[in-house]
Amino acid sequence: MKKVILPILVLVIVAAGILVFFALPMATQPKPEVVVYTSVDQVYAEPILKEYEKISGVSVKAVYDVEATKTTGLVTRLISERANPQADVFWNGEIMQTILLKENEVLTPYTSPNSTGIPPLFKDPEGYWTGFGGRFRVIIVNTNLLSPEHYPDSIDDFREGTVPADQTGIAYPLFGTTATHAAALYATLGNQAARDYFIALRDRNVRVLDGNSVVRDQVASGLLAYGLTDSDDACGAVMRGDPVDIVIPDQGPGERGTLVIPNTVALIRGGPNPGEGKKLIDYLLSPDTETELLDIGWIQMATRGDHPLRCVSTTSITPMNVSYPAIAAVQEEVKRDLAEIFIR
Protein backbone atom coordinates (compact mmCIF):
# COMPACT_ATOMS: atom_id res chain seq x y z
CA MET A 1 0.00 0.00 0.00
CA LYS A 2 2.82 2.36 0.90
CA LYS A 3 4.44 1.56 -2.45
CA VAL A 4 1.27 2.77 -4.20
CA ILE A 5 0.75 5.90 -2.10
CA LEU A 6 4.32 7.17 -2.42
CA PRO A 7 4.34 7.58 -6.23
CA ILE A 8 0.90 9.21 -6.08
CA LEU A 9 2.12 11.64 -3.43
CA VAL A 10 5.14 12.50 -5.56
CA LEU A 11 2.91 13.14 -8.57
CA VAL A 12 0.64 15.40 -6.53
CA ILE A 13 3.60 17.42 -5.26
CA VAL A 14 5.07 17.73 -8.75
CA ALA A 15 1.72 18.77 -10.22
CA ALA A 16 1.23 21.35 -7.50
CA GLY A 17 4.70 22.71 -8.16
CA ILE A 18 3.97 22.99 -11.88
CA LEU A 19 0.73 24.85 -11.18
CA VAL A 20 2.49 27.25 -8.83
CA PHE A 21 5.28 27.76 -11.38
CA PHE A 22 2.87 28.74 -14.15
CA ALA A 23 0.42 30.62 -11.93
CA LEU A 24 3.06 32.80 -10.29
CA PRO A 25 3.87 34.89 -13.39
CA MET A 26 0.14 35.31 -14.02
CA ALA A 27 -0.45 36.45 -10.46
CA THR A 28 2.40 38.93 -10.52
CA GLN A 29 1.72 40.26 -14.03
CA PRO A 30 0.59 43.90 -13.65
CA LYS A 31 -2.86 44.87 -14.90
CA PRO A 32 -2.67 47.07 -18.01
CA GLU A 33 -3.34 50.71 -17.26
CA VAL A 34 -3.86 54.04 -18.95
CA VAL A 35 -3.48 57.52 -17.48
CA VAL A 36 -5.86 60.23 -18.66
CA TYR A 37 -5.88 63.89 -17.71
CA THR A 38 -9.30 65.43 -18.28
CA SER A 39 -10.82 68.88 -17.90
CA VAL A 40 -14.32 67.44 -18.31
CA ASP A 41 -16.36 67.76 -15.12
CA GLN A 42 -15.84 64.61 -13.08
CA VAL A 43 -19.56 63.97 -12.74
CA TYR A 44 -19.68 63.47 -16.54
CA ALA A 45 -16.25 61.99 -17.28
CA GLU A 46 -16.07 59.42 -14.51
CA PRO A 47 -19.01 57.23 -15.64
CA ILE A 48 -17.55 57.09 -19.17
CA LEU A 49 -14.11 56.09 -17.90
CA LYS A 50 -15.52 53.57 -15.40
CA GLU A 51 -17.50 51.92 -18.19
CA TYR A 52 -14.36 51.68 -20.32
CA GLU A 53 -12.48 50.16 -17.38
CA LYS A 54 -15.24 47.58 -16.97
CA ILE A 55 -15.42 46.45 -20.60
CA SER A 56 -11.68 46.61 -21.36
CA GLY A 57 -10.16 45.29 -18.15
CA VAL A 58 -7.71 48.20 -18.24
CA SER A 59 -7.10 50.19 -15.08
CA VAL A 60 -7.94 53.82 -15.85
CA LYS A 61 -6.09 56.36 -13.73
CA ALA A 62 -7.88 59.67 -14.21
CA VAL A 63 -6.62 63.07 -13.13
CA TYR A 64 -9.42 65.62 -13.05
CA ASP A 65 -9.18 69.38 -13.04
CA VAL A 66 -10.16 71.51 -10.08
CA GLU A 67 -12.59 74.39 -10.37
CA ALA A 68 -9.97 76.97 -9.39
CA THR A 69 -7.67 76.17 -12.31
CA LYS A 70 -10.00 74.48 -14.82
CA THR A 71 -8.37 73.43 -18.09
CA THR A 72 -5.33 75.70 -17.80
CA GLY A 73 -4.10 73.91 -14.67
CA LEU A 74 -3.91 70.56 -16.45
CA VAL A 75 -2.33 72.16 -19.51
CA THR A 76 0.36 73.80 -17.37
CA ARG A 77 1.00 70.44 -15.73
CA LEU A 78 1.28 68.64 -19.05
CA ILE A 79 3.74 71.22 -20.35
CA SER A 80 5.82 70.96 -17.17
CA GLU A 81 5.88 67.15 -17.53
CA ARG A 82 6.93 67.27 -21.18
CA ALA A 83 10.41 65.84 -20.48
CA ASN A 84 8.94 63.02 -18.36
CA PRO A 85 5.31 62.49 -19.38
CA GLN A 86 3.00 60.96 -16.79
CA ALA A 87 -0.20 60.94 -18.86
CA ASP A 88 -1.16 58.97 -21.95
CA VAL A 89 -4.29 60.86 -23.02
CA PHE A 90 -5.68 64.38 -22.65
CA TRP A 91 -9.47 64.62 -22.84
CA ASN A 92 -10.42 68.28 -22.97
CA GLY A 93 -13.86 69.85 -22.71
CA GLU A 94 -12.79 72.55 -25.19
CA ILE A 95 -10.22 73.01 -27.94
CA MET A 96 -8.01 76.09 -27.58
CA GLN A 97 -5.84 74.64 -24.83
CA THR A 98 -5.41 71.42 -26.81
CA ILE A 99 -4.03 73.47 -29.69
CA LEU A 100 -1.67 75.14 -27.20
CA LEU A 101 -0.38 71.69 -26.21
CA LYS A 102 0.30 70.89 -29.85
CA GLU A 103 2.24 74.15 -30.21
CA ASN A 104 4.29 73.21 -27.13
CA GLU A 105 5.12 69.76 -28.59
CA VAL A 106 3.29 67.88 -25.84
CA LEU A 107 1.17 65.82 -28.26
CA THR A 108 1.92 63.14 -30.80
CA PRO A 109 -0.20 62.35 -33.88
CA TYR A 110 -2.75 59.58 -33.77
CA THR A 111 -5.61 59.08 -36.22
CA SER A 112 -8.22 56.83 -34.68
CA PRO A 113 -10.27 54.54 -36.93
CA ASN A 114 -13.29 55.84 -34.99
CA SER A 115 -12.70 59.37 -36.27
CA THR A 116 -14.29 58.36 -39.57
CA GLY A 117 -17.41 60.42 -40.13
CA ILE A 118 -16.26 63.35 -38.01
CA PRO A 119 -16.08 66.44 -40.28
CA PRO A 120 -12.62 67.85 -41.10
CA LEU A 121 -13.52 71.05 -39.21
CA PHE A 122 -13.24 69.07 -35.98
CA LYS A 123 -9.97 67.26 -36.75
CA ASP A 124 -6.39 68.47 -36.74
CA PRO A 125 -5.10 68.08 -40.31
CA GLU A 126 -1.89 66.55 -38.94
CA GLY A 127 -3.69 64.17 -36.60
CA TYR A 128 -2.63 65.73 -33.29
CA TRP A 129 -6.18 66.03 -31.91
CA THR A 130 -9.72 65.04 -32.76
CA GLY A 131 -12.93 66.81 -31.76
CA PHE A 132 -16.08 64.99 -30.74
CA GLY A 133 -19.37 66.11 -29.31
CA GLY A 134 -19.70 69.68 -28.29
CA ARG A 135 -21.39 72.77 -27.02
CA PHE A 136 -22.29 75.80 -29.07
CA ARG A 137 -22.96 79.47 -28.54
CA VAL A 138 -26.60 80.44 -28.09
CA ILE A 139 -28.80 83.36 -27.13
CA ILE A 140 -30.93 82.62 -24.08
CA VAL A 141 -34.22 84.56 -23.95
CA ASN A 142 -36.59 85.27 -21.06
CA THR A 143 -40.02 84.19 -22.29
CA ASN A 144 -41.83 86.41 -19.78
CA LEU A 145 -40.18 89.50 -21.25
CA LEU A 146 -40.13 88.71 -24.97
CA SER A 147 -42.59 86.98 -27.28
CA PRO A 148 -41.19 84.79 -30.08
CA GLU A 149 -41.69 87.43 -32.78
CA HIS A 150 -39.33 89.70 -30.84
CA TYR A 151 -36.61 87.13 -30.20
CA PRO A 152 -33.11 88.04 -31.40
CA ASP A 153 -31.79 85.77 -34.14
CA SER A 154 -28.24 87.09 -34.53
CA ILE A 155 -25.39 88.30 -32.36
CA ASP A 156 -25.80 91.54 -34.33
CA ASP A 157 -28.93 92.17 -32.25
CA PHE A 158 -26.67 93.00 -29.31
CA ARG A 159 -25.31 95.87 -31.38
CA GLU A 160 -28.46 97.16 -33.03
CA GLY A 161 -31.48 95.36 -31.64
CA THR A 162 -34.75 96.92 -30.50
CA VAL A 163 -34.42 95.76 -26.89
CA PRO A 164 -32.63 98.33 -24.69
CA ALA A 165 -28.97 97.40 -24.46
CA ASP A 166 -28.92 97.38 -20.67
CA GLN A 167 -31.47 94.54 -20.80
CA THR A 168 -29.03 92.37 -22.77
CA GLY A 169 -25.76 90.84 -21.68
CA ILE A 170 -22.61 88.91 -22.52
CA ALA A 171 -19.80 87.46 -20.42
CA TYR A 172 -16.44 89.25 -20.33
CA PRO A 173 -14.87 88.43 -23.72
CA LEU A 174 -11.41 88.04 -22.21
CA PHE A 175 -12.10 84.63 -20.68
CA GLY A 176 -13.43 81.18 -21.52
CA THR A 177 -15.65 80.42 -24.47
CA THR A 178 -16.64 84.07 -24.85
CA ALA A 179 -12.97 84.87 -25.52
CA THR A 180 -12.86 82.04 -28.05
CA HIS A 181 -16.02 83.37 -29.70
CA ALA A 182 -14.52 86.87 -29.86
CA ALA A 183 -11.34 85.53 -31.46
CA ALA A 184 -13.46 83.63 -33.99
CA LEU A 185 -15.14 86.91 -34.95
CA TYR A 186 -11.76 88.60 -35.39
CA ALA A 187 -10.59 85.68 -37.53
CA THR A 188 -13.67 85.82 -39.79
CA LEU A 189 -14.63 89.50 -39.89
CA GLY A 190 -11.15 90.97 -39.76
CA ASN A 191 -9.62 93.00 -36.94
CA GLN A 192 -11.27 96.34 -37.62
CA ALA A 193 -14.80 95.05 -38.19
CA ALA A 194 -14.63 92.85 -35.09
CA ARG A 195 -13.18 95.67 -33.01
CA ASP A 196 -15.96 97.97 -34.18
CA TYR A 197 -18.52 95.36 -33.13
CA PHE A 198 -17.24 95.19 -29.56
CA ILE A 199 -16.84 98.96 -29.29
CA ALA A 200 -20.49 99.24 -30.32
CA LEU A 201 -21.50 96.82 -27.55
CA ARG A 202 -19.56 98.86 -25.03
CA ASP A 203 -20.95 102.17 -26.23
CA ARG A 204 -24.53 100.86 -26.18
CA ASN A 205 -24.00 99.75 -22.56
CA VAL A 206 -24.65 96.07 -23.17
CA ARG A 207 -24.18 94.44 -19.76
CA VAL A 208 -20.81 92.68 -19.45
CA LEU A 209 -20.96 90.03 -16.71
CA ASP A 210 -18.60 87.69 -14.91
CA GLY A 211 -19.39 84.49 -16.81
CA ASN A 212 -21.77 82.53 -19.01
CA SER A 213 -23.65 81.11 -16.03
CA VAL A 214 -24.19 84.63 -14.67
CA VAL A 215 -25.64 85.67 -18.03
CA ARG A 216 -27.96 82.66 -17.92
CA ASP A 217 -29.10 83.36 -14.36
CA GLN A 218 -29.79 87.04 -15.00
CA VAL A 219 -31.90 86.17 -18.04
CA ALA A 220 -33.72 83.44 -16.11
CA SER A 221 -34.49 85.82 -13.23
CA GLY A 222 -35.74 88.56 -15.56
CA LEU A 223 -32.90 91.00 -14.94
CA LEU A 224 -32.05 90.66 -18.63
CA ALA A 225 -34.30 90.03 -21.62
CA TYR A 226 -31.64 88.00 -23.41
CA GLY A 227 -27.96 87.16 -23.28
CA LEU A 228 -25.18 85.30 -25.03
CA THR A 229 -24.05 82.07 -23.37
CA ASP A 230 -23.13 78.42 -24.00
CA SER A 231 -25.63 75.69 -24.83
CA ASP A 232 -24.87 73.69 -21.68
CA ASP A 233 -25.58 76.68 -19.44
CA ALA A 234 -28.77 77.52 -21.32
CA CYS A 235 -29.96 73.92 -21.27
CA GLY A 236 -29.41 73.84 -17.52
CA ALA A 237 -31.92 76.67 -17.19
CA VAL A 238 -34.41 74.84 -19.42
CA MET A 239 -34.03 71.64 -17.40
CA ARG A 240 -34.72 73.39 -14.11
CA GLY A 241 -37.90 74.92 -15.52
CA ASP A 242 -36.84 78.54 -15.82
CA PRO A 243 -38.94 80.78 -18.14
CA VAL A 244 -36.39 80.74 -20.95
CA ASP A 245 -36.06 79.77 -24.58
CA ILE A 246 -32.93 79.13 -26.63
CA VAL A 247 -32.04 80.68 -29.99
CA ILE A 248 -29.12 79.45 -32.10
CA PRO A 249 -27.89 82.67 -33.72
CA ASP A 250 -27.02 83.43 -37.32
CA GLN A 251 -28.52 80.30 -38.86
CA GLY A 252 -30.17 81.82 -41.93
CA PRO A 253 -28.98 81.35 -45.53
CA GLY A 254 -25.61 83.00 -46.02
CA GLU A 255 -25.27 83.93 -42.34
CA ARG A 256 -22.09 83.29 -40.36
CA GLY A 257 -23.32 80.41 -38.18
CA THR A 258 -22.52 80.00 -34.52
CA LEU A 259 -19.35 78.89 -32.79
CA VAL A 260 -19.17 75.21 -31.85
CA ILE A 261 -16.86 74.23 -28.99
CA PRO A 262 -16.02 70.52 -29.34
CA ASN A 263 -14.49 68.20 -26.82
CA THR A 264 -11.02 67.18 -27.97
CA VAL A 265 -8.88 64.15 -27.27
CA ALA A 266 -5.17 63.74 -27.95
CA LEU A 267 -2.32 61.30 -27.37
CA ILE A 268 0.56 62.53 -25.20
CA ARG A 269 4.02 62.37 -26.74
CA GLY A 270 6.17 59.81 -24.90
CA GLY A 271 3.39 58.76 -22.52
CA PRO A 272 3.99 55.59 -20.46
CA ASN A 273 1.25 53.49 -22.12
CA PRO A 274 0.85 54.59 -25.74
CA GLY A 275 -0.93 51.43 -26.86
CA GLU A 276 -3.53 51.67 -24.14
CA GLY A 277 -3.78 55.41 -24.77
CA LYS A 278 -4.76 54.78 -28.38
CA LYS A 279 -7.41 52.26 -27.31
CA LEU A 280 -8.94 54.75 -24.88
CA ILE A 281 -9.01 57.41 -27.60
CA ASP A 282 -10.77 54.94 -29.90
CA TYR A 283 -13.38 54.37 -27.19
CA LEU A 284 -13.95 58.08 -26.55
CA LEU A 285 -14.37 58.73 -30.28
CA SER A 286 -16.89 55.93 -30.77
CA PRO A 287 -20.45 56.89 -31.74
CA ASP A 288 -21.73 55.09 -28.64
CA THR A 289 -19.66 57.30 -26.33
CA GLU A 290 -20.85 60.43 -28.11
CA THR A 291 -24.44 59.25 -27.66
CA GLU A 292 -23.87 58.62 -23.96
CA LEU A 293 -22.38 62.10 -23.50
CA LEU A 294 -25.49 63.52 -25.17
CA ASP A 295 -27.76 61.49 -22.92
CA ILE A 296 -26.07 62.60 -19.69
CA GLY A 297 -26.05 66.25 -20.75
CA TRP A 298 -22.34 67.01 -21.10
CA ILE A 299 -22.72 67.86 -24.80
CA GLN A 300 -25.67 69.11 -26.83
CA MET A 301 -24.59 68.11 -30.33
CA ALA A 302 -22.85 65.21 -32.04
CA THR A 303 -20.04 66.13 -34.41
CA ARG A 304 -21.14 63.42 -36.82
CA GLY A 305 -24.54 65.08 -37.14
CA ASP A 306 -26.35 61.75 -36.74
CA HIS A 307 -28.25 62.80 -33.61
CA PRO A 308 -30.75 65.60 -33.07
CA LEU A 309 -29.58 68.57 -31.03
CA ARG A 310 -30.49 68.35 -27.38
CA CYS A 311 -32.58 70.90 -25.51
CA VAL A 312 -33.35 73.11 -28.53
CA SER A 313 -36.22 73.05 -31.01
CA THR A 314 -34.10 72.89 -34.17
CA THR A 315 -32.66 69.64 -35.48
CA SER A 316 -29.37 70.85 -36.97
CA ILE A 317 -26.81 73.60 -36.62
CA THR A 318 -24.70 75.67 -38.99
CA PRO A 319 -21.27 76.16 -37.39
CA MET A 320 -19.05 79.15 -38.06
CA ASN A 321 -16.82 78.42 -41.04
CA VAL A 322 -13.52 79.13 -39.30
CA SER A 323 -10.64 76.82 -38.44
CA TYR A 324 -9.74 76.44 -34.79
CA PRO A 325 -6.01 76.98 -35.45
CA ALA A 326 -6.95 80.31 -37.06
CA ILE A 327 -8.83 81.25 -33.89
CA ALA A 328 -5.89 80.20 -31.72
CA ALA A 329 -3.49 82.24 -33.85
CA VAL A 330 -5.24 85.52 -33.02
CA GLN A 331 -6.53 84.84 -29.53
CA GLU A 332 -3.81 86.54 -27.49
CA GLU A 333 -3.85 89.62 -29.71
CA VAL A 334 -7.63 89.75 -29.43
CA LYS A 335 -7.51 89.57 -25.64
CA ARG A 336 -5.16 92.55 -25.54
CA ASP A 337 -7.44 94.48 -27.89
CA LEU A 338 -10.57 93.68 -25.89
CA ALA A 339 -8.84 94.56 -22.62
CA GLU A 340 -8.39 98.08 -23.99
CA ILE A 341 -12.07 98.22 -24.88
CA PHE A 342 -13.69 96.73 -21.79
CA ILE A 343 -11.36 97.07 -18.81
CA ARG A 344 -11.91 100.40 -17.18
Whether residue 21 has pLDDT greater than 50: no
Residue 107 falls inside a structural domain: yes
Helix axes 212-220 and 231-239, enclosed angle (nearest 10): 30
Give the mean pLDDT of the chain.
91
| Residue ranges making up the domain that contains 116 | 33-134+261-308
DSSP string of 195-212? HHHHHHHHHHT-EEES-H
Which pLDDT score is estimated for 343?
86
Residues 247 and 304 in one domain: no
What's the mean pLDDT in 45-74?
88
Question: How many domains would you assign to the chain?
Answer: 2
The helix/strand/coil state of 256 is coil
Total count of residues recorded for the chain: 344
Which pLDDT score is estimated for 313?
78
What are 123-170's pLDDT values in tens digits? 999 999 999 999 999 999 999 999 999 999 999 999 998 999 999 999
Residue 179 falls inside a structural domain: yes
DSSP state of 150: G
Rounded to the nearest angstrom, the gap between the alpha carbon of residue 211 and the centroid of all alpha carbons in its chain is 17
CATH of the domain at 175: 3.40.190.10
Residues 154 and 103 in one domain: no
Whether residue 179 has pLDDT greater than 50: yes
The answer to whether 290 touches 116, Cβ cutoff 8 Å, is no
At residue 29 the predicted structure's pLDDT band, cuts being 50, 70 and 90, is low
DSSP state of 115: G
Among 2-11, 109-118, 216-225, 280-289, the least confident range: 2-11
Residues 158 and 231 in one domain: yes
Residues 129 and 269 in one domain: yes
